[in-house]
Amino acid sequence: MTSTRLLIVGPQGSGKGTQGVRIAEAYGIPEISTGDIFRANIKEGTELGLKVKAITDAGDLVSDELTGEIVRDRLSQPDAADGFLLDGYPRNIAQLHHLDEFLAERGESLDAVIELAVPREESLKRIALRAAEQGRSDDTEEAIAHRLDIYERQTAPLLAVYGERGIVETIDGVGSLDEITDRILAALEARGLVRTAAV
C-alpha cells in the first residue's frame, strides 16, 4: 500500500474544504481540517471549543502551539498511518517547521501541496453566499476581509518554501466542483500518486 501525504491550500471561499473531502476519498485517506476540529469542539462546548470560540469571534486565528498540538495528535491516530490530507495547517512558516519536524521524526514528508488559486473577489462572493446559507457567525464582512489579509500575508510564504521543494501544484479554483476535482486528480496522477477509489 502506498501512502499519500497531501496539503491543500487556498484562501477562505476557495472551496478547499469541499475539494479536500473529495481528494481524500479518492486516495482513501482521512481529510484533516483544523477548522472542522475546532468547530466540532465549539459545538460540543468543550474546553478547547470555548477557547477557540473566543479567539475566532474576535476574527483572530488560534495559536500555533494549540493548533500544532491538535494536528500532531490527529496525525498520530491509526487511520492517518497510510497518509492524510491536511486542510488549514500549516498556516504560516512556524507551523511549517513544526510539521516538517513531526514528519521527519516519522521518516515522512509531504508528497504534494495543492494550491487552489481563486481571485479575491470570487472568494468574497462565495463566503457571503456560504454565510447566508449556513448562518456562520464568523463570516462577517470584516472578519472575512481580515482572514483573507492574514492568508495573503502568512500563507503565501508557505507556497514559496514548498515551491522550492518542487511539490506545489497550482490549480485553477474557478469552475464547477467536478472540473476542479478533475484538475486536482490529473495533477496528482501526473506526479505518480495513485488513487484508490473513483470519485
Asked if residues 138 and 27 have their Cβ atoms less than 8 Å apart, the reply is no
Stronger pLDDT, 196 or 101, i.e. the higher one: 101
Domains identified in the chain and CATH numbers: 4-32+78-190 (3.40.50.300)
Place of cell 514559496: 160
> How confident is the model over 102-121, as a mean pLDDT?
94
User: Is the confidence at residue 90, as pLDDT, over 50?
Assistant: yes
- Nine-digit cell at 42? 465549539
Q: Which residues are catalytic?
A: 16, 91, 130, 136, 147
DSSP state of 99: H
pTM (predicted TM-score): 0.85
pLDDT of residue 197: 79
Residue 161's pLDDT is 97
Contact 173, 121 (CB under 8 A): no
Name the band, by pLDDT with cuts 50, 70 and 90, for residue 134.
Answer: confident
Determine if the peptide bond prior to 11 is cis (ω within 30°). Answer: no
The answer on pLDDT for 190 being more than 60 is yes
Instruction: Say if residue 1's pLDDT is above 60.
Output: no
Mean pLDDT, residues 96-114: 96
Supply the DSSP symbol for 9. Answer: E
Quick one: cell of 113?
501541496
31's grid cell: 481529510
